[in-house]
Structure 1
Amino acid sequence: MRGSSCVLMSVLLMIADGLIVKGPSGPLVAPLGSSVVLPCSVDELLSVKDLEVEWRRTDSETLVHLYQDGESRTESQQQDYQDRAHFFTDQIQHGNFSLRLDDLRAEDEGQYKCKVYIQQESGETVVQIKFNAERLLVSGSDQYISASVGEDVTLSCSVDSHIPPGDFEEVTWTKTDEDIQVLLYQDNETHSSNERYIDRVELFPAEIHKGNFSLRLKSVRTEDKGVYMCKVFAGGLSANTTVVLERLGFSVVHIMMLILCISASGSALLLFCLIYCRSNNTDTVFRLQMFLVFCPNVLMFLAFVLWGVSEGSLFEWVSCCALYFLRPFMLLWTAPYINNFTGNIKTWVQNYSYEAEYIVFSAVFYSVLFKSALDKSLNYAGFEGVMIIALFVIVILFTLLYIIFLLLRFTGKASQRMMTIFRVLAGISFDVLPSLQFILIFYSFGSIRGGFIIVAVLPVFTTVTRYNWNAVCGQRMGCSPALMRSVWLILMMLINAVLVYFYITALENEKDRVGWVCVIVFLQTLWALVNFTWSFQSWDPPRFAAVYVFGSVGVVLLNSVALMIELILKTVNGEGAMGDMRISVFSSELLFTLILMILMVFEPWITPCLQSCTKAMKSCRAADAGSHNQESQNATADSATGSNQNQNQNQNPAESHEMNPLLNTQNQENSRSDGTEEAQPDSVVSQS
Structure 2
Amino acid sequence: MLVLFNFTYLKMHQPKIVLMSVILKIVDGLVVRGPSAPLSAPLGSSVVLPCYVDEALPVEDLEVEWRRADSETLIHLYQDGESRAEVQQQDYHDRAHFFTEEIQHGNFSLRLDNLTAQDEGEYRCRVHSQQDSGETVAEIKNIERLLVSGPEKLVSAYVDGDVTLNCSVDSHITPEHIEEVSWRKTDKDGDITVLLYQKNKTVSEATHEEFRGRVEFFTAEIPKGNFSLRLKSVRTEDKGVYMCQVFAGVLSANATVQLERLGFSALHTMTVILCISASGSALLLCFLIYSPDKETLIGLQMFLLFFPNILMCLAFLLWGLTEGSLNESVCCCALYFLRPLLLHWAAPPMSIFTGNISRHQCRLG
Normalised by the shorter chain, which TM-score bucket? 0.5 to 0.7
Q: Secondary structure at the match of 1:287?
A: helix
Q: Does 1:338 align with 2:345?
A: yes
Deviation string 1:431-476 (CA, Å, 9 cap, x unpaired) is xxxxxxxxxxxxxxxxxxxxxxxxxxxxxxxxxxxxxxxxxxxxxx
The question of 1:198 aligning with 2:207 is answered no
Which of residues 285, 295, 305 in structure 1 aligns to 2:311?
295
Match of 1:305 among 284, 308, 321: 321
Q: 2:243 aligns with which of 211, 225, 228?
A: 228
Structure-2 change in CA distance of 1:145 and 1:197 (3 Å): same
Q: Measure the CA separation in 1 of the matches of 2:290 and 2:162.
A: 49
Q: Say if 1:654 and 1:148 are closer, same or farther in 2 by CA, change over 3 A.
A: same
Q: Choose the corresponding residue for 2:157, options 144, 148, 151.
A: 148
**Displacement of 1:131:** 7.0
| Equivalent AA in structure 2 for residue 27 of structure 1 | A
Q: Does 1:100 align with 2:111?
A: yes
Contact 2:162/2:230 (CA < 8 Å) preserved in 1? no
CA distance in 2, matches of 1:287, 1:240: 65
Counterpart pick for 1:327 among 335, 339, 342 = 335
TM superposition shift of 1:143: 4.0
1:278 to 2:294 alignment = no
Q: Whose strand fraction is larger, Structure 1's or Structure 2's?
A: 2
User: What is the deviation of 1:195?
Assistant: 2.3
Q: Partners in 1 of 2:61 and 2:332 — Cα distance? A: 87
Kindly provide the CA deviation profile for residues 475-512 of structure 1, in whole angstroms up to 9, marking residues without a partner as x.
xxxxxxxxxxxxxxxxxxxxxxxxxxxxxxxxxxxxxx
Is residue 157 of structure 1 aligned with residue 157 of structure 2?
no
The correspondence of residues 376-391 of structure 1 with structure 2, limited to 5 A, is none
Deviation at 1:201, TM superposition (A): 2.1
Give the counterpart of 2:261 among 238, 249, 252.
Answer: 249
Question: Are the counterparts in 2 of residues 158 and 212 from structure 1 also a CA contact under 8 Å?
Answer: yes
- More relative contact order in 1 or in 2 (CA 8 Å, sep 6+)? 2
* Cα contact 1:183–1:201 (8 A) shared by 2: yes
Task: Give 1:180-191 correspondences, 5 Å limit.
Answer: 180-186=192-198, 189-191=201-203
The alpha-carbon deviation at position 172 of structure 1 amounts to: 1.9
**Corresponding residue SS for 1:652:** helix
Cα 1:221–1:303 shift into 2, 3 Å: closer
Give, as a single letter, the amino acid of the residue that structure 2 aligns with 1:318.
Answer: L
- Cα distance change of structure 1 residues 181 and 73 upon mapping to structure 2, 3 Å threshold: farther
SS of alignment partner, residue 213 of structure 2? coil
In structure 1, the residue matched to 2:183 is 174
- Post-superposition offset of 1:187: 5.9
Tell me, yes or no, if structure 1 residue 111 matches structure 2 residue 105.
no
2:90 is aligned, of 52, 71, 76, to 76
Candidates 112, 125, 128, aligned match of 2:139: 128
Q: Shift of residue 31 of structure 1?
A: 5.6
Letter in 1 for 2:90: S
- Structure 2: which 5+ runs fail to align? 1-22, 292-296, 358-365
Following superposition, the deviation at residue 155 of structure 1 comes to 2.1
Contact in 2 for aligned 1:152/1:217 (Cα 8 Å): yes
* 1:653 match: 352
> Matches of 2:88 and 2:312 in 1, distance apart?
69
Letter in 1 for 2:336: P
1:36 counterpart (47, 52, 65): 47
Change beyond 3 A, Cα 1:71–1:160: closer
SS in structure 2 of the partner of residue 196 of structure 1: coil
Cα distance in 1, alignment partners of residues 88 and 231 from structure 2: 45
Q: 1 CA distance for matches of 2:65 and 2:85?
A: 10
In structure 1, distance between residues paired with 2:72 and 2:229:
38
After the TM superposition, which residues 192-591 of structure 1 pair with which residues of structure 2 at under 5 Å, given as runs? 192=204, 193-208=207-222, 212-220=226-234, 223=238, 225-229=240-244, 231=246, 233=248, 242-246=254-258, 248-253=260-265, 257=268, 260-261=271-272, 264=275, 267-268=278-279, 270-275=280-285, 278-279=289-290, 281-306=297-322, 308=323, 314=324, 317-332=325-340, 334-335=342-343, 337-338=344-345, 340=347
Separation in 2 of the partners of 1:145 and 1:339?
A: 53
What is the deviation of 1:30? Answer: 6.0
Distance in 1 between residues matched to 2:196 and 2:260, nearest whole Å: 25
- How many residue pairs get aligned? The number is 308
Distance 1:657 1:207, change over 3 A: farther
Paired with 2:119 and 2:319, the residues of 1 have a C-alpha distance of: 57
Q: 1:210 to 1:230 in 2, by over 3 A?
A: same
8 A Cα contact 1:155 1:217, kept in partner: no
Partner amino acid for 1:226? V
Question: 2:37 is matched with which residue?
Answer: 27
How far, CA to CA, are the matches of 2:212 and 2:74 in structure 1? 46
In the aligned structure 1, how far is the partner of 2:197 from the partner of 2:271?
Answer: 40
Q: C-alpha distance in 2, partners of 1:226/1:41? A: 52
For 1:278, the aligned partner's letter is I
Relative distance call for 1:54 and 1:210 in structure 2 (3 A) is closer
**Preserved contact between residue 320 and residue 329 of structure 2 (Cα < 8 Å):** yes
Can you give the 5+ residue segments of structure 1 that lack an aligned partner in the other structure?
1-12, 309-313, 342-542, 544-650, 659-688
Structure 2 CA distance for partners of 1:271 and 1:145, relative to 1, 3 Å? closer
Contact 2:275-2:311 at 8 Å conserved across structures? yes
| 1:172 alignment partner, SS class | strand
Identify the structure with the greater helix proportion. Answer: 1
Distance 1:261 1:47, change over 3 A: farther
> How far apart are the structure 2 equivalents of 1:136 and 1:87?
23
Contact 1:54 1:116 in 2 (8 A): yes
Mean CA deviation greater in 95-104 or 193-202: 95-104
**Aligned-residue CA RMSD in angstroms?**
5.3
| Whole-angstrom CA distance in 2 between matches of 1:240 and 1:299 | 47
SS in 1 for 2:289: coil
Letter in 1 for 2:307: F
Deviations 1:323-356 (A, max 9, x none): 2221224534543x41559xxxxxxxxxxxxxxx
Cα 1:652–1:301 shift into 2, 3 Å: same
**Paired residues of 1:156 and 1:213 also in contact (CA < 8 A):** yes
CA contact (8 A) 2:31 2:134 kept: yes
- Amino acid paired to 2:263: S
Identity across matched positions, percent: 23
Q: Is the 1:138–1:239 Cα contact (8 Å) retained in structure 2?
A: no
How much has 1:39 moved relative to structure 2? 3.5
TM-score by length of 2: 0.59
